[in-house]
């Protein structure tokens, strides 16, 4: 395993896709601080932790693009087959690739956080929230990143066509983002709606609030809330919106997703016919 990891991290060091993703995250952080700087100049009050986790919804896209291309190259170059031929166990090959992909995703997150915090310290000042609360949210993001890595490793390691793998991973990343947004929209529906409306003459009129038919109640709301917390698609929206009120629960769910997808990926990969 150690030899496989050493070879993988050496490849990672020279991976253009990896460094492009890292640079994109760092650039995104710089852009967010530019927006904050403009707001401050306009007299707005800005806190450093306000946009600290705004990058999280894009982690799935970056991790999917990287995993598909990085692991797909191993198939196109015949590297995986050679590893099996010289005696490496398939479980070790899979796990070493998963660890590398997870590490890459975490480094991408760190690139945003470091650049954002360094520039923010000069532009805005220090954090106002409790350090432990901020670190807990960041840890939650890192565990979520590992869950995304596990999902995309499952896809990439069991598809020998790099182009198809890349399309599937990126499409899945966008699908997860849309699914999380949908769950959030459903749960954010107000219980009552109405209040004011514009009449035919253009005058603003008041009306009594009425029950919103789209408001989720009872077991249906519990099911949506569970999906929103359990699925990585829901977690990335929650964290990207400023953090979660129950990060440890989300970390537990992410760990379950990582374990289940890894077990499924290994099971499929062990039976896969490597051409």
pLDDT band at 205 (very low <50, low <70, confident <90, very high): low
pLDDT band at 126 (very low <50, low <70, confident <90, very high): confident
User: Are residues 21 and 66 in contact, defined by beta-carbon separation less than 8 angstroms?
Assistant: yes
Is pLDDT larger for residue 129 or for residue 275?
A: 129
How far is Cα of residue 256 from the mean position of the Cα atoms in its chain? Answer: 16
Closest by Cα among 103, 109, 142 to 10: 103
- The residue-averaged pLDDT of 34-41 equals 90
Q: What pLDDT does residue 198 have?
A: 62
**pLDDT single digits (tens) 79-88:** 888 888 888 8
Q: What pLDDT does residue 234 have?
A: 94
Is pLDDT larger for residue 161 or for residue 176?
A: 176
What are phi and psi for residue 193, nearest 5 degrees?
A: -135, 175
Q: Any residues with CB less than 8 A from the CB of 203 and at least 6 apart, and which? A: none
Identify the three-state secondary structure at position 210.
Answer: strand
Give percent of the chain with pLDDT exceeding 90.
Answer: 64
User: Are residues 23 and 110 in contact, defined by beta-carbon separation less than 8 angstroms?
Assistant: no
User: Does the structure show a pLDDT above 90 at 19?
Assistant: yes
**pLDDT single digits (tens) 130-158:** 999 999 999 999 999 999 999 999 999 98
**pLDDT single digits (tens) 45-67:** 889 988 999 999 999 999 999 99
User: Does the structure show a pLDDT above 70 at 197?
Assistant: no
Q: What pLDDT does residue 201 have?
A: 64
Q: Go through the chain and tell me how many residues it has.
A: 275
Q: Measured between alpha carbons, how far is 190 from 224 in angstroms, rounded to an integer?
A: 15
**Buried/exposed 84-99: b ≥16 CB within 10 Å, e otherwise:** eeeebebeebbbbbbb
What pTM value is reported for the model? 0.89
**pLDDT single digits (tens) 206-262:** 667 778 888 888 899 999 999 999 999 999 999 999 888 899 999 999 999 999 999
Q: What pLDDT does residue 110 have?
A: 97
- The residue-averaged pLDDT of 28-47 equals 90
Q: What pLDDT does residue 212 have?
A: 80
Q: What pLDDT does residue 42 have?
A: 84
User: Are residues 175 and 151 in contact, defined by beta-carbon separation less than 8 angstroms?
Assistant: no
Q: What pLDDT does residue 204 have?
A: 64
Q: What pLDDT does residue 211 have?
A: 80
Q: What pLDDT does residue 45 have?
A: 86
Identify the three-state secondary structure at position 211.
Answer: strand
Give percent of the chain with pLDDT exceeding 70.
Answer: 95
H-run or E-run covering 205: strand 204-206
Q: What pLDDT does residue 163 have?
A: 87
Measured CA distances, 102 to 38, 121, 258 (Å)? 35, 28, 10
């Amino acid at each position: 395993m150690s030899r496989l990891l050493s070879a993988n991290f050496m490849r990672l060091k020279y991976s253009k896709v990896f460094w492009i993703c890292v640079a994109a995250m760092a650039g995104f952080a710089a852009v967010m601080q530019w927006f904050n700087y403009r707001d401050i100049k306009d007299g707005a009050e800005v806190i450093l932790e306000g946009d600290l986790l705004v990058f999280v919804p894009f982690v799935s896209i970056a991790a999917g693009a990287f995993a598909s291309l990085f692991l797909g190259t191993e198939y196109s170059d015949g590297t995986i087959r050679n590893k099996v031929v010289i005696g490496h166990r398939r479980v070790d090959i899979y796990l070493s690739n998963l660890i590398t992909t997870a590490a890459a995703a975490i480094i991408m997150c760190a690139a945003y956080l470091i650049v954002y915090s360094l520039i923010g310290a000069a532009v805005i000042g220090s954090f106002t929230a409790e350090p432990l609360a901020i670190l807990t949210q960041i840890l939650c993001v890192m565990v979520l990143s590992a869950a995304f890595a596990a999902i995309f490793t499952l896809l990439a390691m069991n598809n020998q066509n790099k182009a198809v793998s890349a399309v599937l991973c990126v499409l899945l990343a966008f699908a997860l983002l849309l699914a999380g947004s949908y769950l959030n929209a459903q749960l954010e529906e107000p219980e009552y709606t109405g209040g004011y409306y514009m009449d035919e003459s253009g005058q603003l009129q008041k009306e009594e609030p009425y029950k919103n038919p789209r408001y989720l109640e009872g077991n249906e709301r519990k099911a949506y809330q569970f999906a929103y917390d359990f699925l990585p698609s829901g977690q990335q929206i929650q964290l990207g919106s400023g953090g979660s009120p129950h990060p440890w629960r989300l970390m537990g769910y992410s760990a379950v997703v990582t374990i289940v997808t890894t077990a499924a990926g290994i099971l499929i990969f062990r039976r896969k016919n490597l051409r």
